[in-house]
Copies of this chain bind each other. A is one copy, B any other.
């Protein structure tokens, strides 16, 4: 096991009818900016629950944060924060709204030249503007971690940021919100959380037995609840298991003491930036090719995953590893998620070269847990995913 430090101060408030607890979590004298996305919260009753709980607080609203939170939109919100003297942020939404709120938490206190620096100069925010979240879409785990990914349409870029000061002060997780989530977003959420676990697990054996088993536990639970959640998102029990699994998939716990890969995300982000493909679907496109290409480096863990999660008992390590990749791809497809780039766009020729070129331009010499995935290898993996 590698040495690690772990601290996660976010307060989770989980369960039925918990949105009303907002009232006791936000200081009564706060000037709150309520951030949300496309307005679904105004159709499913969540907006009413939130505003009722905040009836005694000074609240300004900022809606319209898009999926893949857009820098230009967030700069408008930053202006509102300054104009209105906002001192507390409340994200009501999924990963995009929460990620956008994290950027604003950092940008509101940043004293450099331009908030763009936060994304390009690896600024680690030590203390941002305080914020909480009401999660409306389980997927990214952003509700209990300190990272975010921001998109800039102007330059077709998608960049990561974070810092120890960007954990939500609290996050309210009411699994009842799942009942009104469209199936497309549900399956995206399952795929996203599943891939988050894979990125932290599918590397090489480092002998961290408990972290391995925790990772496998999340994968097993997602596999178990996925069909139930899709069949009936109003069924509370699988909804609750699904929601908690997504949070645990990326709250830092399973990545402590172990190597991380994250190359699937790095490549996937480019597919979203280039084609606007849903984040989760880009992961399902890249992951199978990535694991096949890196079979030598990853086969021990792939085989362990095959044995423990998919009950693959027959064959050699290599056989089990390949079978596990097939099971994974079939799992995504069973959710209705296409796993080839050509399923999403006819304009895929040249994509691998373009992504390779971008990585070279950014000076990204070696991705993955062994830092050996050079841009030419990335090109091959993306081509395998056509």
B207 near A217 with CB under 8 A, answer: no
Check if A120 is an interface residue, CB within 8 A of chain B: no
Check if A257 is an interface residue, CB within 8 A of chain B: yes
Interface-located stretch among A6-14, A123-131, A337-345 = A6-14
Tell me which of A2, A6, A9, A225 has the highest count of chain B C-beta atoms within 10 A of its own C-beta. A6
A224 near B241 with CB under 8 A, answer: no
Check if A3 is an interface residue, CB within 8 A of chain B: yes
What chain B residues lie within 8 Å of A18 (beta carbons)?
3
B210 near A217 with CB under 8 A, answer: yes
Copies in the complex: 2
Q: How far is the CA of A355 from the CA of B223 in the complex (A)?
A: 46
A5 near B11 with CB under 8 A, answer: yes
Q: How many chain A residues touch B (Cβ–Cβ < 8 Å)?
A: 40
Q: How far is the CA of A18 from the CA of B6 in the complex (A)?
A: 13
B210 near A1 with CB under 8 A, answer: no
Check if A374 is an interface residue, CB within 8 A of chain B: no
Q: Assuming A214-B217, A244-B257, A257-B244, is B7 touching A14 (CB within 8 A)?
A: no
A221 near B217 with CB under 8 A, answer: no
Within 8 Å by CB of A14, from B3, B237, B244, lies B3
Q: How far is the CA of A5 from the CA of B208 in the complex (A)?
A: 28
What chain B residues lie within 8 Å of A218 (beta carbons)?
210
What chain B residues lie within 8 Å of A253 (beta carbons)?
253
Shortest CB-to-CB span from A174 to chain B, Å, is 9
Check if A16 is an interface residue, CB within 8 A of chain B: yes
What chain B residues lie within 8 Å of A1 (beta carbons)?
14-15, 237, 240-241, 244
Shortest CB-to-CB span from A171 to chain B, Å, is 10
Q: How far is the CA of A237 from the CA of B210 in the complex (A)?
A: 11
Q: Return the CB mask of A182-213 against B: 1 if under 8 Å, else 0.
A: 00000000000000000000000001111101
Q: How far is the CA of A106 from the CA of B320 in the complex (A)?
A: 54
B4 near A15 with CB under 8 A, answer: yes
Check if A140 is an interface residue, CB within 8 A of chain B: no
What chain B residues lie within 8 Å of A257 (beta carbons)?
14-15, 240, 244
